[in-house]
Amino acid sequence: MTLVRAMVVMAAVAGAAVAADEKPAFDAAKLVGSWKITEGTKAGEKSDAAKLESPAVFAKDTIKFKTEDGTFKFKYAADAKANPATIDLEILEPDGFKGAKAKGLLKMDGDTLTLVYNPDAEGKRPEKFESTKENKFFLFAMKKEKAEK
């Protein structure tokens, strides 16, 4: 009987150790809020820091931010169960870009969010968090802004 109890305890401890090694699932609810864009790369070219001053504001299913080309609003759907998490984007505004779609990846590490996407609607979803001249992906790193009280 003691051997059986010892085996049950060992199995429970081993199960807890495996669970502790598993990475927690991406929590899409944590996207909601204002994110300061700290770094941007488009097709391997670093963006001018002055052009990244406007925060990306995530709502439940939209993202809005300003660029030198105007204010952009995207509808998005994130799949938090995928590893890494995936995101599908569709431009709602401005009219000249309306309907354009993109596929990407998301990862969150503390208060840092990294987004990479393929702006070619017919192209494949990125497999890595990188932007090169060859893949033409867009990559952004963002820090969550503290909510004002």
Using one digit for the tens of pLDDT, what is the confidence trace for 88-117? 999 999 999 999 999 999 999 989 999 999
d(CA 57, CA 61): 11
104 near 116, Cβ under 8 Å? yes
User: Please, which contacts does 52-56 make with residues 24 or more away whose CB atoms are closer than 8 Å?
Assistant: 55/142, 55/145, 56/140, 56/142
Mean predicted confidence (pLDDT) in 46-51: 80
**What is the CATH class of 28-144?**
mainly beta
The ranges assigned to domains in the chain are 28-144
Of the two residues 52 and 56, the one the predictor is more confident about is 56
Residue 73 CB coordination number (10 Å): 17
d(CA 76, CA 71): 16
Note the pTM of the prediction, 2 decimals.
0.78
Sign of CA dihedral 89, 134, 83, 46: negative
User: For residue 124, is pLDDT > 50?
Assistant: yes
